[in-house]
Structure formats: C-alpha cells, structure tokens
Structure 1
Amino acid sequence: MLLLYPPMQTAAGQVCKPNASLAYPNLAGALRDHGVDVRIYDACVGDADDPIVDSMFDKPMPLPSGYVRMGVDDERILNVVADYDIVGITSIFTDQETMVLHCARLIRAAFPDKILVSGGVNARSRLPRFFAAGFDAVCLSEAEGTIVEIVNEVRRSARPDFSSIHGIAYVDAGGTTRIRPTRSQDVVWDLDKLPMPAWDLLANERYWKIARPHAGVFEPGVELRYAQMMTSLGCPFHCSYCHIAGEQEGSLSGPIGKFRIKSDDRVLDEIAMLKDLGVDNVFIEDDSLLGDKKRGLRLLRKIQGAGLNICDVNGINIIHLLKRWKADHEILEALAGAGFTQINLPFETGNLRIMRKYASNKLNIEKADIESLIVAMKEYGFKIYGNYMLGYPDETLEEIETTIEAAKKHMSYGLDAAGFFIVVPLPGSPLYDAAVAGGHFSEDFDPDRMNIYKANMVNTLVPAEVLEEIRSRAWHEVNNPEFKNEKKKLLAPTD
C-alpha cells in the first residue's frame, strides 16, 4: 500500500508548507504491524530520487486557478504509484481537496484496477465528489483498524466487497454509494492499543532541511529536526467551527470527538522513538493537551529532562492556563520544565457573545486576567502567539474591531505576535451546516477558497471584501516589523 501526500497548492503571497500530518505515520504503523508492505510518499517534497530545490519551492507550477503547485509532477507520481495495489490519499483540509481529487483522477486513468482509498473529515463530508473522482472507499473515522480490514478484503478477492466493514463508505458493484457508519465499539478508547506511529517512513531529512513546520516561528534557512505527535485525541469542548463538534455519538465518524488519552508511559515511549530518529523539536498536536488538567500536569512533570524543545501550536486552551482567572504558575512552570518554548494562545474573539455562541463558552473573557497570564508566560521564557478569528455570519463590524483592539492590548502586555484568521465553515463542522442553511454559501462552493485568509461566506453582516481588507490591515497594524519581515521571507514565489 502507498500512502500519498499530494502536491501542495498555495496562493501567491502565502507560505507553502509540507502537509506531513500524523494520519500517515499512524496508518503506516497499523499496516506494518499487519505485515503490509507500506510506503509513505510526499509528492510535495519527494524523496531521495527527487531534486529538493529547483522543481519544488523555487520554481512552483502555475495552476489555472491562479494558485501555484509545489512538488513533483504527475509523471513522477504515476511512477511511484505503479508498484502498489492500494493507494491511500488523505483529505483532512478542504483547501487541498483540488489536489487530492486531481491525484485520484490521474491514478484512476492510468491504473484502472488499483484500489483508491481516502479518509479525513473533508473526504467524509464530500463523498459524492470523492467517488466521482475515482475513489473506491472512504474511511469515515479514525482508520487504523479500518485500513487493515480493507487490506484483508483486497487480499481475499480481486473484486473486493467492503459491505462487512464498519466506518466506511464505498461504491458497490452496481454503482450505488453505501455508507456503514462507525459504531461506538469501533472507536479505540484505550489509545495505548494503537500501533506506534511509523515516523521513520516520512521524508524527515527533507522536512528538516526545508524547515517549514505548519506553525511556529523559526530562523529561515536553518535545519529544524522536528516531528509531530499527539498525547490525546478529542476535546472536552465542541466549538461550532471545529469538526470535533460533529464527531459525536450517532455521527458517521462515531464519538471520536470524546477526549481520550495515552498513558504517561506510552507518551514517553513515543518521545524516545522520536529522539532515536534524531528529532529534537516536537510539535504537540493534541486538540486539548490539558483537557484533563491533573493528567496534563503529571505528564508534563514526567517529560522533564527529555531534552526536547516542544511547541504547542494547536491545543492549549487559555482556560487551562488560569487558576481563579489569573495565571496558573504551577502549570506554566511545568510547561517550561518540560521544554515548551512556543505556545499559541487561541483567544478566538474579544466578544463574550461570540465566545458563548460559537466557541463553547470556554473562556469568560470579562473575568480572565489575560495581562497576568501573558506577563507570567514571558517571565517563564515562552514565545507566545495569539490567534484571533474574524467574520462570523452575524458578527458586527463593531465586534470585529473589539477583537482587534483586544489583540492590541495583548501585544502591549508582551504577546510576541498576533494571527488574524477569517472564519472558515469547514465541511463536517456545525458551522458549515448553519452556513448552508443560512444562505452564506451553496454546497457547490469552491474548495480552493476555503482557507483562513479568504472570506468564505456571502451575506454576512460584514461583506466579504471588507473582511479581507480588515484582516490584512489588522495583521499589519498589530504585529511588529521584525515579525512581519520574518514571515515575508517564507512567502510563496509568484513567478
């Protein structure tokens, strides 16, 4: 089986970063344990047989959409695919759907007998498009077990029948789409039972040389020996813009949104494996690292002494860094002792109404002493970056400006930089369903536009073109020149 990351497409003026999500190391670990010959090929960066500079990041390929394509060409993809029986192509992020479907059509036309499998929240939410592009099956949930069942069925028959597999959608012999939802008993509740991720199958040396992880701030041109890991899955919060809010009991994915943890020993074993590969920078990708705060504190203390630089760019909720609404020094000290260096703070909004309606009411911003938190985090030596979301369907111009003013205050307290993102109602999230129902876009929307720098909806209180101008203005006004200059060095080429 081949697990294929497609080439990346990037708008001119945005930073191109390899995908390298954890989906493939996790799946590859399960397949390898099952005796499957599995390879991961990242068509964005290639492997040792591909050039790493001229054809990739310095000379992107223009696309008809106006985007640019980073990675190997179609001929190279077909050359790699030729030796494999099953090809898996994940589709987690909607704005990369175009390249996923392009690869599927390309492979289907050249190799009509190969089995094509996809998965990820975007694929699950866009089944008709994926089957029209040539996919045979789409995994609807966490797929370490499902992918092994698919392999067993392909081994059994030249004309596989997926009807007995749960957590899958497929096209039957008559051309009808069949859906077998994930059951609660299909969900892995004890995460220690998951196979160890096959990080060694990734193009690590290339990632380290390119040094463009999906977040964080690092010196351009300097090798960064990094990897990603998760110590938990799910989240105690169910924010309307997040796929987790749709991953509950009775959904196609099953209740995988429920917060679940790996044991301390399992996490330490994974860290040891990464260190053996030469990794010295780890990105924690948990959706809520401190979702169980006592467990989080215990784990952080056990990680101390591991000798790693750790960044959390995804899942430390601000409420978990507070105690009685002020900085929780016990947690901050444990984070610093464990090696955390950069932390993203998801402020989301400067408006309590928006927080309550769209973000699980997870932080009372009128009570929280954010100044004490930021000051304390800087005293512990963290680089801290704030994330702010603008442009909910019913958000007023005044509320948007309130969020921007909040970011300015946070910068005055010591925040290192602020990121402003336009709300994206991604397929699979409750916000997507509400946006369709509210006439904010149609179901045949352009997936290429579904990214955090574009106004993705129409008929919002603040018009799309105004939102994009406000977001750009806020980023330039709030951030300091040094940070902006560092970001500009990574922009995608325009010719």
Structure 2
Amino acid sequence: MQVTLINPHTLIQPSDPLTTGICYFPVTLAYLAASLREQGHLVHVIDAFGEASTTVRRWRNWWMQGLPLETLLGRLAQDGGDAEAPIFIYAGNLVSHEATIQILKAVSQRFSRRPRIVVENTQAVTAYALKKALPDFFSAGADYVLTGECEQRGPRLLSALSSKEELKTLDGVYWRENGAVHGADPAGFIQDLDSLAFPAWDLFPLAGYWRLHYAHGPVTAKRWLPLLTSRGCPYPCRFCVVPETNRMKWRARSAKNVASEMAFWGERLGIREFHIEDLNPTVDEERVRQLSQEIESAGLKLTWKIVAGTKLDILKEPDTLHRMARAGCRYISMSPESGSPEILKRMGKPFRYDAAIELTRQMHREGIRSQACFVVGYPEESDADRALTRRYIRRLAQAGLDEVALFICTPVPGSSIFGSEQGYQSLSELSFSPVWRKTYRLLSRYRRGTYLRFLLWKLLYHPVKLLAQPFHFLSRRFQTKMEMTPYRALSVMFWRWMHP
C-alpha cells in the first residue's frame, strides 16, 4: 500500500523567537516510516519544515517556518498512485498544533477520499496527549487519531481500514462515527526496542536541517542526527505530559544496539555527532557505562550529547562521567526544575541537589558542557521559592555549569496541571513563554534577571568560559544552547525579513 507521511511546519511566537521555534527532527515519524516500509508499504514523506527550512512568513499570530501550504498540497497531488492512499500527519509539537490543524483541514478538503491519520509523539516534553485534543482533530477532518507508540499500531491500523469490526479490536486508535468518538487508550508498550528498524532518515530532507546550523542541542559538526536510546520516564512530574503518554514506564535499547546505529549512520551518511533526545537516558547507570564501553570498543570516533534534560543526579559511580567523556560525550542537559524543595514536592519530582553540584564539578573537569533546566511559575510558587531557585543556580554556576534554561510553566494537555490556567485561545499558545498568563510579566522579568545574573556569576567564577562564547558563536561551532540560540533567533528574523 502507498502511504504518505507529513511533518508539519514549525510555528514561532514573534514575541519570543529565543524560546520558540526550536528545531526538532521528527524522530517518531522516522520510526513509523521505517516500520511501514519494513511491512512492505511504499512510503512517501513530505517534510513541510525540512523541505523549506529557511522560509519564514507571517501566518495569523505566528511566524510559520516551512513550505507554503499550496506547495505541500501540490506535492501530495504529485505523489499519484492510489487515490485512496492513507496520509499520516504528525502532531509532534504542541506549539505547532495550529499548523497541524491547517494541514489537516486543507488535506481533508482537497483529498477527501484519502484516510487521514493523526500521529502522536510520546517521546518529547514539548509534545501533548492527543486524546485531550480529539475535538480539534476531528473537526478539522481527521478520520483517525493514533496515540501511543506508532511502530506497531500504524501497520495494524492500515490493515484494519477496510473492516470496522477489526478496527474495534485496536488499542490506541480513536475515530468518529455518526457523530460519536470511539476508541480505546493505548494498552501497553514496545518492550523489545532493539527489534525496531532504525529510523528511515533516508526518506527525509536532512540537508534542510543541516543547512540551519542549529538544532535542539548545540551543533558543532556540519552533520548530526538525533538518537532515541530509551523511551519513557519513571517519574510522575505533574507539569509534564510524559506520565500520561508513557504511564511512568521506562524501557531501553541495549548499549550494543545504540552503538550499532551510531556506526550505521557514520558509515552511510558520515555522521560524527549524535544528539540523544531521550526523555531520561540515565535511568540505568550501568547501561550508560556499557554504551560508553561499546563506543570505545568499536573504535567509533564521534561525539554525543544528552540534550533533553536528563535526571543526572541518579548517577552514583564516581567514574561514570569520565567513561562518558572518554567515549565522546561532550554535553549533558539536566533538569533540577526548581531550587525549592517544597515546589519539587508539589511537582512530584525527586532531585538530589548536592549530588548535582558534585556532578557539575565533574563535568567541568571532564570537559563536558552542562546545562540545568528550571520551570518557573508552577502553581502556588512564591517569590521565596524563586529566590531559592536563583540561589541554587548560583551554586551550580560556581561549580562550573555552562548554561541555564528557564521555562515558564504552561498547562500542557495531558499533564496533571492541564486546566489549572485559563486565558489562552489556542493550544499553540501553550508555549514556555505563555504571554496570556496573568503573571507572565512578573515571571518574564524574573527569567531575564536570572539569565543576567547567571552570566555575571559565570564571568566571576569561570571567566574563560564566558569569554569564549563569542568565538563559538561566530564560528558556528556551538558548545552550548546559549551560544546557539541568538544565532537561531537572528537567522529566523532574517528569513522572516526576506519573506514579507
């Protein structure tokens, strides 16, 4: 069967191009493409972002990055083949929800005979639980919404399209019939992740990503790829969507399988830099040590970076970071979330403050760049709580922390706090700069002030690191996201100026 997979545009909040508009490779979609191809389906990919990554234009209240809609529809028409070939549309990023809805509406009007399937992203904190947005998708013309892991459910859904009775036996699939929504929650997870085919990156316009010279993680090489070495997270953080989409289940690929993928893309595409996008890759410290050993034993000359905010304080063995650095690890993002123990308790987030300080010192000694991520504005957070966060950031800066990221809390659909705040008109407004929040100005001032203080502390405690940042910026060999983010924002503003 012929199928088409669509990765939507990226939406950018014009008032904050520093925090929004981050470039994410569509990893889940690439896994789905590999699975469908393995089942014998003819897979076409239209990557609305990657195929026109330097095209930015005004669209409603956002800047939209990617292909013009008519060009995308023209590509669909050129696919030819079966006039009833299914279309999978990836709802991978919450802020880009309206872009996904726009594509869905246009496709349903132009290609009404082709089944339209919306696909959930379960492996990112910037995603959302699609069950909470079913009315939006069905109103826009979706025939099915596929939730949970898609590699096995996607092929099963294709087999069931011609049989309503078979459709009723599937889990993780929702559809609308006679005005009523039917379906069931996902029932289980893929346990043997090593059995999955590597993502089908050969079907995607990778050059469109590489020409940007920026990504979610700091880019040093000319070519790079993301990796998912594990899935899920065992922690119940109430501000996060992951407990809903992964049920606090964590599963991992073997170290050998991960190293094999690194070697595969190194040989096939010349990739020497990998960005690990796992929700929490360090849950099993022994596996991290094994991965380091596998990379060294295989003689792989590469760098790898943990870019999505792992729970680093889990690590207890004194030589783990040394082994990681020796195997090419050059960057680790961790997520303390708050310097206030009371706020962490309310969040449901365990964290060992002192352990993270010592690990930051170790990363500094080993030459591993470090980031600490914090959520500010959590419900009932006080000025005193935020003062504790700022105090802890200073301790981290003294220990050698390279950068800090502060995200203003937003009620992500699927998180425990979804519904705790009102005032937004669209799910796309649920960014980490939620200007609609009544306390946004207060929190934004706190964020700016904390960033400024962090830079001053960095200058005080580790001046060489701070003074090196302009050189990394100018050479586009970014060691941290703080060096890369201004470049990304300036690039986007320039492309927006080029496409009035």
Partner of 2:104: 104
Give CA deviations for 1:206-254 in whole Å, capped at 9, x if unaligned.
Answer: 2122222112254xxxx62111111111122221122222246xxxxxx
SS of residue in 1 equivalent to 2:289: helix
Partner of 1:382: 368
- 1:97 is displaced (CA, Å) by 0.3
**Counterpart residue type for residue 264 of structure 1:** A
Contact 2:309 2:332 in 1 (8 A): no
Contact 2:224 2:271 in 1 (8 A): yes
Say whether 1:14 aligns with 2:3: no
Say whether 1:94 aligns with 2:94: yes
Quote the Cα distance in structure 2 between the aligned partners of 1:8 and 1:246.
Answer: 24
- 1:425 is displaced (CA, Å) by 2.0
Partner of 1:171: 176
TM-score by length of 2: 0.84
Partner of 1:259: 250
Superposed counterparts of 1:105-184, under 5 Å: 105-120=105-120, 121-154=128-161, 156=162, 162-172=167-177, 174-184=178-188
Partner of 2:337: 348
Say whether 1:311 aligns with 2:305: yes
Say whether 1:34 aligns with 2:39: yes
Moved more, 339-348 or 94-103: 339-348
Quote the Cα distance in structure 1 between the aligned partners of 2:166 and 2:57.
Answer: 39
SS of residue in 1 equivalent to 2:149: coil
Superposed counterparts of 1:424-463, under 5 Å: 424-432=410-418, 436=419, 438=420, 440-441=421-422, 445-454=425-434, 457-458=437-438, 463=439
- 1:263 is displaced (CA, Å) by 2.1
The alpha-carbon distance between structure 1 residues 369 and 265, as it changes in their structure 2 partners (threshold 3 A), is closer
Partner of 2:198: 196
Partner of 1:49: none
SS of residue in 1 equivalent to 2:215: coil
Say whether 1:405 aligns with 2:382: no
Contact 1:233 1:287 in 2 (8 A): yes
Superposed counterparts of 1:231-310, under 5 Å: 231-247=229-245, 255=247, 257-275=248-266, 276-304=268-296, 305-310=299-304
**Partner of residue 72 from structure 1, selected from 67, 71, 75:** 67
Quote the Cα distance in structure 1 between the aligned partners of 2:347 and 2:405.
Answer: 19
Give CA deviations for 1:119-149 in whole Å, capped at 9, x if unaligned.
Answer: 2244232111111111110112101111101
Contact 1:423 1:455 in 2 (8 A): no
Give CA deviations for 1:372-427 in whole Å, capped at 9, x if unaligned.
Answer: 32222111011112211100010001211221232133223221121111112211
RMSD across aligned positions (CA): 2.3
**Counterpart residue type for residue 217 of structure 2:** A
In structure 1, the gaps of 5 or more residues are: 47-51, 249-254
Moved more, 96-105 or 375-384: 375-384
- 1:445 is displaced (CA, Å) by 4.2
**Counterpart residue type for residue 64 of structure 1:** R
Quote the Cα distance in structure 1 between the aligned partners of 2:484 and 2:233.
Answer: 33
**Counterpart residue type for residue 347 of structure 1:** P
SS of residue in 2 equivalent to 1:489: helix
Quote the Cα distance in structure 2 between the aligned partners of 1:411 and 1:107.
Answer: 50
Superposed counterparts of 1:310-329, under 5 Å: 310-321=304-315, 323=316, 328-329=317-318
TM-score by length of 1: 0.85
- 1:36 is displaced (CA, Å) by 0.6
Partner of 2:4: 2
The alpha-carbon distance between structure 1 residues 167 and 30, as it changes in their structure 2 partners (threshold 3 A), is same
**Counterpart residue type for residue 314 of structure 1:** A
SS of residue in 2 equivalent to 1:68: strand
Moved more, 445-454 or 106-115: 445-454
Looking at secondary structure, tell me which structure has more helix per residue: 2
The alpha-carbon distance between structure 1 residues 215 and 424, as it changes in their structure 2 partners (threshold 3 A), is farther
Partner of 2:475: none
- 1:294 is displaced (CA, Å) by 2.0
Contact 1:457 1:464 in 2 (8 A): yes
- 1:299 is displaced (CA, Å) by 2.3
The alpha-carbon distance between structure 1 residues 485 and 331, as it changes in their structure 2 partners (threshold 3 A), is closer
- 1:428 is displaced (CA, Å) by 1.0
Give CA deviations for 1:55-74 in whole Å, capped at 9, x if unaligned.
Answer: x53x5211221x21111111
Partner of 1:229: 227
Contact 1:18 1:45 in 2 (8 A): no
Quote the Cα distance in structure 1 between the aligned partners of 2:435 and 2:383.
Answer: 14
Give CA deviations for 1:242-283 in whole Å, capped at 9, x if unaligned.
Answer: 2222246xxxxxx4x411111233222212222122211101
Moved more, 259-268 or 349-358: 259-268
Quote the Cα distance in structure 2 between the aligned partners of 1:160 and 1:285.
Answer: 38
Give CA deviations for 1:428-483 in whole Å, capped at 9, x if unaligned.
Answer: 11122xxx2x5x227x742222111225645xxxx232112222232233235847
In structure 2, the gaps of 5 or more residues are: 121-127, 456-465, 471-481
